[in-house]
């Protein structure tokens, strides 16, 4: 069957630091233009390459009408960029996509809602922003209101809505766009269970009518449940494209491609800049040995080794933890008073962050390591997926698991102090006395 989406060799390049460049002033631009001929002579190809990031690289796939395709991958793998290209928010650097149908995106529901306007007014405004004609909105108006369950407040400004009502209304408008291609980015996390089910029904409806859905999610259970087929993206490239169960298991296993040690022996090619370079990241146990598997009860040390080349900069080493589902578990900034807010002299530094035992949940964790300055914010280097380690919760009975032997959800698993206050029933008192009496 003829595909409804064909993407061929899609690539998208971002210039690192392009964001700062956006706040460039006219004056800077003029000064640059004046010095441009000089810079052109001294153009350094490798420096140019180092400052570009391929958010997508040579991505090709096609989707048939009625297909529901999941898109998974770690943060920064290119999922959002792909959706942004498909929804025409941003242009690809090269490659092309042919769309044989109208695209509706639920990238961010409620886009363009204006707090001052009433629910009714926002339905029209939002509908038009999403690409509906006025007549089309009028035709679907009652249905949208009914779907959102806010009919009583339809003429109230949305600033008085609860966040749940707001999301319901926003989703209702987006869901009634009836596009042939629907792009969904984790919106199912909104609302209560009843409303979520309604949303899932709507998605199902869409695919049953021969329309296609691209569903980006970090939630593996909903991917396998909703999508027969899944595409795995890794660093902007398609790593695997096939039946969801298979692709999801590849993905869950892939966090382990990273090991407990990552070293850059050649300082010149190490991540960083002219101020500081990251030399190594290691996962260590209490004994100081490099380890990649940890008992849940034991502390875990993440060591960053870096060399300050140019003195005088305040540096904050920081670590970013993701679990195997790509959930951003936490960020740790070095707040050690010894070096905090102090410009650093040149030399080799080893900074270690200790994660206490009985803190993280079991499973694989992937660590990103960065060196930044916080005032003003400058990221000197950020090495995503620098190291990874495993946490194992054995069934010894003295972890937070207790005697529970089944899978336990949650990104953390702290061992909390529990207290129970007991007020004995008068009858129970006599019972226990009886038990005590028997024993005696």
Partner 1 sequence: MKLTTSESVLEPASPVGVTLPERPLVSIKPSGAWVKLNLRDLWLYRDLLYFLVWRDVKVRYKQTALGATWAVVQPLFTMLVFSLIFGRLGGMKSDGIPYPLFAYAGLLPWTFFANAVTASGNSLIGNSNLITKVYFPRMLIPAAAVLAGLVDFAITFLLLVPLMFYYHVALTWHVLLLPVLLALTALLAMSVGMWMSGLNVKYRDVRHTLPFLIQLWFFASPIIYPASIFARWRWLLALNPMSGIIEGYRAALFGRPFDWPALALSAGLTLTSLVYSAYSFRRMERRFADVI
In whole angstroms, how close is the CB of 307 to partner 1 at the nearest point? 33
The structure tokens 């899609």 sit at 10
Q: Using alpha carbons, select from 298, 263, 308, 275 the residue that is nearest to residue 390.
A: 298
Instruction: Pick the closer one to partner 1 by CB: 101 or 164.
Output: 101
Instruction: Pick the closer one to partner 1 by CB: 199 or 400.
Output: 199
In whole angstroms, what is the distance from residue 255 CA to residue 382 CA?
Answer: 18
Q: Is 92 exposed, middle or buried (0-12, 13-18, 19+ CB in 10 A)?
A: buried
Instruction: Pick the closer one to partner 1 by CB: 25 or 406.
Output: 25
User: Would you call 287 helix, strand, or coil by DSSP?
Assistant: coil
Instruction: Pick the closer one to partner 1 by CB: 184 or 369.
Output: 184
User: Would you call 385 helix, strand, or coil by DSSP?
Assistant: strand
Instruction: Pick the closer one to partner 1 by CB: 62 or 352.
Output: 62
Instruction: Pick the closer one to partner 1 by CB: 26 or 440.
Output: 26
Cβ-proximal residues to 79 (8 Å cutoff; 6+ apart), any chain = 71, 72, 73, 216, 233
Residue 417's Cβ-side half-sphere holds a number of Cα atoms within 13 Å equal to 1
Instruction: Pick the closer one to partner 1 by CB: 116 or 438.
Output: 116
- E strand intervals along 227-362: 229-234, 237-243, 261-263, 276-284, 293-295, 300-308, 313-314, 316-323, 328-333, 343-344, 347-355
Quick one: CA torsion of 97, 93, 73, 222, rounded to 10 degrees? -40
In whole angstroms, how close is the CB of 273 to partner 1 at the nearest point? 22
Instruction: Pick the closer one to partner 1 by CB: 10 or 300.
Output: 10
**CB-CB contact of 92 with 11 (8 Å):** yes
In whole angstroms, how close is the CB of 192 to partner 1 at the nearest point? 10
**Residue 75, strand partner residues:** none
In whole angstroms, what is the distance from residue 223 CA to residue 69 CA?
Answer: 9
């Amino acid at each position: 069957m003829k595909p409804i989406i064909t993407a061929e060799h899609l690539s998208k390049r971002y210039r690192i630091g392009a964001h700062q460049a956006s706040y460039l002033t006219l004056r800077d631009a003029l000064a640059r233009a004046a010095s441009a001929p000089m810079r052109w002579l001294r153009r350094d190809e490798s420096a140019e390459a180092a400052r570009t990031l391929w958010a997508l690289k040579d991505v090709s796939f096609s989707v048939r009408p009625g297909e529901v395709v999941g898109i998974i991958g770690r943060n920064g793998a290119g999922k959002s960029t792909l959706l942004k290209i498909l929804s025409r928010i941003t242009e690809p650097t090269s490659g092309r996509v042919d769309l044989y149908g109208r695209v509706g995106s639920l990238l961010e529901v409620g886009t363009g809602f204006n707090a001052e306007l009433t629910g009714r007014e926002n339905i029209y405004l939002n509908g038009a922003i999403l690409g509906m004609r006025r007549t089309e909105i009028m035709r679907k108006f009652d249905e949208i209101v009914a779907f959102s369950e806010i009919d009583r407040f339809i003429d109230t400004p949305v600033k008085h809505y609860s966040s749940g009502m707001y999301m319901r209304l926003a989703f209702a408008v987006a869901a009634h766009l009836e596009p042939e291609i629907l792009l969904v980015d984790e919106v199912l996390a909104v609302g209560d269970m009843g409303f979520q089910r309604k949303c899932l029904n709507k998605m199902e409806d869409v695919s049953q009518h021969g329309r296609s859905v691209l569903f980006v999610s970090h939630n593996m259970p909903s991917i396998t449940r909703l999508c027969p087929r899944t595409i795995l993206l890794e660093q902007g490239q398609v790593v695997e494209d096939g039946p969801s169960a298979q692709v999801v298991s590849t993905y869950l296993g892939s966090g382990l491609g990273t090991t407990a040690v990552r070293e850059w022996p050649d300082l010149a090619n190490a991540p960083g800049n002219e101020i500081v370079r990251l030399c190594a990241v290691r996962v260590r146990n209490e004994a100081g040995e490099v380890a990649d598997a940890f008992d849940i009860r034991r502390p875990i040390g993440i060591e960053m080794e870096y060399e300050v080349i140019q003195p005088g900069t305040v540096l904050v080493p920081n670590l970013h933890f993701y679990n195997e589902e790509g959930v951003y578990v936490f960020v740790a900034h070095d707040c050690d008073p010894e070096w905090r807010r102090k410009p650093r002299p040149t030399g080799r530094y080893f900074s270690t962050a200790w994660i206490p035992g009985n803190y993280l949940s079991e499973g694989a964790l992937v660590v990103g390591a960065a060196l930044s300055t916080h005032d003003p914010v400058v990221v000197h280097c950020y090495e995503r997926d620098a190291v990874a380690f495993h946490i194992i919760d054995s069934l010894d009975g003295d972890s937070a698991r207790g005697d529970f032997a089944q899978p336990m959800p949650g990104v953390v698993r702290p061992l909390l102090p529990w207290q129970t206050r007991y007020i004995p029933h008068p009858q129970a008192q006599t019972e226990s006395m009886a038990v005590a009496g028997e024993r005696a």
